[in-house]
Structure 1
Amino acid sequence: MSSIFKSIRTRIEGLHDGDSHHSSIAPPIHNGPYRELNDTKHLLRQSHSTPANRPKKPMTLIELFQSQGCNSCPPTNSNLISLAQDQEHNPDPGNDYLLLTYHVTYWDYLGWADVFGLSANDARQREYVRKLGLESAYTPMVVVNGLGVGVGNTRADLQRVLSEGQKKADQRVKISVVQQTGNGGVVVEVDTSTLSMPKLPTSSNASALEVLHVRYLPALHSVRIDRGENAGRILPHVNVVTGVEKMGYVAGNERTRFNVGRRGEARENEASVLIVQDGRGGEVLGVLRLV
């Protein structure tokens, strides 16, 4: 393909068997078989009390870019779901994880249009490709805190990506809800005075700290795939992203407030999260779940 997008399906085909236990936009229209499996909320999201002698780490953001039309994605998707289940049954009180699953559209031509696919997800992945200096985008791709990146199709590779992404976990901004507004909206304050970076941004451009509002479906769902490379399979999905909104930018050593309103197209069962990054596709410096 001439595009920057590619699949790693030929590169990891032999690895599947060994680890196969994988401004705001409207949510996608689900034109394929779709059902909610259970009431499990916010998978890969743990909020446990931390022992006094062990300080709680900042939240780790895990972002998965995948496609229902790519047969290389299920192993990584399964690994992340297994990680979520492991965290539920054997929680690590020192860690707080949030998984977001972004379904891309550039494999739709293979015969199956991803029912969760959004062009905004393609754009977000391209930002990581540029910032991380990658040759091209690929699926599956796991990004942790905007720092660690990899395929995640084996437990070992997933652990490597998690470790790389948590190297700078202490460099965080403070995000807090300061006011409730009508129709489920909130006013959120981002405080960058907590950072001790050599050079903080001073203007609203691509090099400043970017603030994003991401909506997602906080449950486990399954979709039956009727065509394409995964034809005949029923694929599980967790925390599927349904909207990405760029709220603006923040400068250094200041407090900036954002009005995060509930958009008219938002579903009642959606959750959302505010993310602060060091520029487009940069290191994640703050995460706050709003619902």
Structure 2
Amino acid sequence: MRRLAFVLLAMGAFVLAVFGLQCRAGETVSSKPVGVVELFTSQGCSSCPKADAAFARLADRRDIVAISYHVDYWNYLGWQDTLSARENTERQYGYSKSFGASNVFTPQVVLNGVRTAKTGGLSHVMTDLDALARGGQAVSVPVSARLTPETMTIAIGAGSGKANVVVAYFKRSTTVAIESGENTGRTLHYRNAVTKLETVGMWDGKAMTLKLPASVGSKPGYDGCAILLQAHDADGNPGRIYGAAAL
């Protein structure tokens, strides 16, 4: 009986592994989401777990590209955030400069690269994204991506504006037992945590296709990535996101 159970488990693992490979290497992901939701958070912030839980529900939606960034400026409180990165903190400060703000905070939600939003619930986010669409700040440029064992191909539609093609690599699901700091004793679950960003091209408003090495879409230690078509100001601070897709 134990041997049969072992065989069944092994077969199940094999099927899952093959299915995962097919999804990553064989399918084209075409996306024109209703919006991009970026959460800035920290394992050392006592106000963040509620926002993390709400964000996890957004991450399950297929009509939204939802990614999170763990910042490192709360690490001095007694717990080193295991997902934090200096690059994430720099991105948040960049948004702060773009928005004309004088400080940063967690949790913070940024929508479509153009405005912050309340973190209390899903309804606020969807309402705000709808308002952005009505105001002409929707994520409107179609983006599609295909990953094969040899190449990653990104196709971008036409639109108005100029933007960088940015790949944000993330870990889809991470569970962390917090041993010190403001969340001591809690086991927290995180979704789509970004720890690396890479600019792979530029878009000038014309339809284009980028053919890149497969390693661009499949980095060791990551099991997902978001492709952001994002404008930047003269100082390199992030701005409006024109299009997005996730693998």
TM-score bracket relative to the smaller structure: 0.7 to 0.9
Task: Indicate the structure with greater helix content.
Answer: 2
TM-score (norm 1): 0.63
The equivalences for 1:1-291 within 5 A come to: 58-84=33-59, 96-154=63-121, 157-167=124-134, 168=136, 172-177=140-145, 180=148, 182=150, 185-191=151-157, 193=158, 195=159, 197=160, 200=161, 208-219=162-173, 221-255=174-208, 257-262=210-215, 266-267=219-220, 270-279=223-232, 280-289=237-246, 291=247
CA distance in 1, matches of 2:66, 2:213: 21
CA deviation string 1:248-279 (max 9, x = no partner): 32223352525254159923661112110122
How many residues are aligned here?
213
Task: Indicate the structure with greater strand content.
Answer: 2
Structure 2 counterpart SS, 1:123: helix
* AA matched with 1:223: V
Any stretches of 5+ residues in structure 1 without a counterpart?
A: 1-40, 42-55, 88-94, 201-207
Cα 1:128–1:176 change in 2 (3 A) is same
Cα 1:242–1:84 change in 2 (3 A) is closer
TM-score (norm 2): 0.73
Identity among equivalent positions (%) equals 28
For 1:27, the equivalent position in structure 2 comes to none
CA distance in 1, matches of 2:130, 2:69: 21
Cα 1:142–1:164 change in 2 (3 A) is farther
CA deviation string 1:54-113 (max 9, x = no partner): xx963421111100011111121122224456x5xxxxxxx7112111111111111111
Structure 2 counterpart SS, 1:131: helix
The Cα shift of 1:161 comes to: 3.9
Question: Could you say what the CA RMSD is over the residues aligned between the two structures, in angstroms?
Answer: 3.0
